[in-house]
Amino acid sequence: MRAILDVVLIALNLYTYIIIASAIFSWLYAFNIVNSSNQIISAIGQMLYNLTEPVLRPVRRIMPNLGGIDISPIIVLLGIILIQNIIVMYVYPNVF
């Protein structure tokens, strides 16, 4: 059981980094710092979008419109941190 919890914690950590990379990439794309016509950059952006959009889309539907500010990655990151803390503090110590 501990091995499964370790894998879940590693996956949550990895997804945290993916969300952060997606947010940074979207800023770089919005401010026209990266060349969007480059195939490699386009493939990286599409991969990050495909990995994060299924989780961010429901959060965006619930959140009120704040203009051009998207705080859905912050909400998801807080949820991931909450899940990690619940696993580490309550579930992990009780597993034999």
pLDDT tens-digit series, residues 28-76: 999 999 988 999 999 999 999 999 999 999 999 999 888 888 999 999 9
Measured CA to CA, the distance from residue 81 to residue 91 in angstroms comes to 15
pTM value > 0.85: yes
Query: Does residue 95 register a pLDDT over 80?
Result: no
Domain span holding position 63: 2-94
Confidence of residue 96 (pLDDT cuts 50, 70, 90): low
Report, in angstroms and rounded to the nearest whole number, the Rg of the chain calculated over CA atoms.
Answer: 16
Higher pLDDT residue, 57 or 92?
57
| Count: domains in the chain | 1
The H-assigned helical ranges of 1-96 are 2-30, 39-62, 72-86
d(CA 54, CA 59): 10
